[in-house]
């Protein structure tokens, strides 16, 4: 699978959340490279500014727009402004470190709102136009850490990412005869700015060096390396495109063999 073949998303309009960096940014750029018109959103406008310049280099018509996925009014307004979205990529997600014993009520609420309720809200806002148009593709970023694999120190993260798989399957089942597909991507550990933040935080908390913490992340990947955002974006292109037209309600594991 490659993201360099042009035109696999020609004629489609794709809305991407958390497009500022990491998997979301790589996906927004891959969608544009494949001919989609991309509406790239993130809470961080500085990241969006630099993304806008990159998107412009891939062709005309792309847009960037600040969106906090925890803001239901902003989501509704965005859906009203863009009634022609065929592809919804829900990328926003947050990693909370800790076991069940370290999880506060506020931590739990925050993670559910950012990781899961955001997807309920974007799908509720954007699906009606897809249904009216007779088709669409929804791609939700979950994780292999969740219902596929329990990961230590990831209590709320795993809980919310498992919920995304249930949400994905429920949405797929409801729209299965109406042309709107819904699939989840379940990555293993992927090189990204937030992973670097987690490595730094874990090193500071444990007294280990950055290299030691990174080696522990790599060690759990049987391939002996981290995933790359381009590898996740390639799957996101496939799930958004008509090539995956017989695929819905799936949780696609892309983890370098971690859960194998």
Beta carbons of 137 and 189 less than 8 angstroms apart: no
Known catalytic membership, residue 157: yes
Nearer to ligand NAD, 130 or 185 (CB): 185
Provide the pairing of β-strand 13-16 with 251-254: unpaired
| Residue of the chain from 57, 128, 193, 222 that contacts ligand NAD (CB under 6 A) | 193
Beta carbons of 29 and 52 less than 8 angstroms apart: no
Provide the pairing of β-strand 63-66 with 87-90: unpaired
Nearer to ligand NAD, 5 or 45 (CB): 45
Beta carbons of 181 and 137 less than 8 angstroms apart: yes
Catalytic site residue from 89, 157, 175, 258? 157
Cα separations in angstroms, 15 against 38, 78, 82, 233: 6, 10, 9, 14
Number of residues that bind ligand NAD (CB under 6 A): 28
| Residue corresponding to tokens 């730094």 | 200
| Residue of the chain from 28, 58, 114, 139 that contacts ligand NAD (CB under 6 A) | 114
Nearer to ligand NAD, 219 or 246 (CB): 219
Nearer to ligand NAD, 9 or 40 (CB): 40
| Residue of the chain from 9, 12, 40, 42 that contacts ligand NAD (CB under 6 A) | 42
Which residue in the shown chain puts its C-beta closest to ligand NAD? 93
Tell me if residue 199 falls in helix, strand or coil: helix
Rounded distance between C-alpha atoms, residue 73 and residue 82, angstroms: 14
Residue 66: DSSP 8-state = E
Stretch that binds ligand NAD, among 129-137, 166-174, 185-193, 239-247 (CB under 6 A): 185-193
| Residue of the chain from 52, 68, 149, 220 that contacts ligand NAD (CB under 6 A) | 68
Site for ligand NAD in 81-110 (CB under 6 A): 91-93
Rounded distance between C-alpha atoms, residue 141 and residue 149, angstroms: 15
Residues binding ligand NAD (CB under 6 A): 17-18, 20-24, 42-44, 47, 67-70, 91-93, 114, 141, 143, 187, 189-190, 192-195
């Amino acid at each position: 699978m490659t993201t360099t073949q042009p035109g696999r998303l020609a004629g489609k309009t794709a809305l991407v959340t958390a497009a500022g960096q990491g998997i979301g940014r790589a996906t927004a750029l891959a969608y544009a490279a494949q001919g989609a018109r991309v509406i790239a959103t993130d809470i961080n406008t500085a990241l969006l500014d630099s993304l806008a310049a990159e998107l412009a280099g891939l062709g005309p018509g792309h847009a960037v727009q600040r969106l906090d996925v925890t803001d239901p009014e902003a989501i509704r307004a965005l859906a009203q402004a863009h009634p022609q979205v065929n592809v919804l990529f829900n990328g926003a997600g947050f990693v909370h470190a800790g076991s069940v014993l370290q999880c506060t009520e506020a931590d739990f609420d925050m993670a559910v709102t950012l990781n899961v309720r955001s997807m309920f809200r974007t799908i509720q806002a954007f699906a009606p136009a897809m249904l009216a148009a007779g088709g669409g593709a929804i791609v939700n970023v979950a994780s292999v850490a969740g219902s596929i694999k329990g990961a230590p120190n990831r209590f709320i993260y795993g809980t919310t990412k498992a919920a995304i798989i249930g949400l994905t399957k429920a949405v797929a089942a409801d729209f299965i005869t109406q042309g709107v597909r819904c699939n989840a991507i379940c990555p293993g550990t992927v090189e990204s700015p937030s992973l670097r933040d987690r490595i730094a935080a874990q090193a500071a908390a444990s007294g280990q060096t950055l290299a030691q913490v990174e080696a522990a992340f790599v060690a759990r990947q049987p391939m002996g390396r981290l995933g790359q955002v381009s590898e996740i974006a390639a799957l996101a292109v496939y799930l958004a495109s008509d090539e995956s037209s017989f695929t819905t309600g799936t949780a696609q594991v892309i983890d370098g063999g971690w859960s194998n």
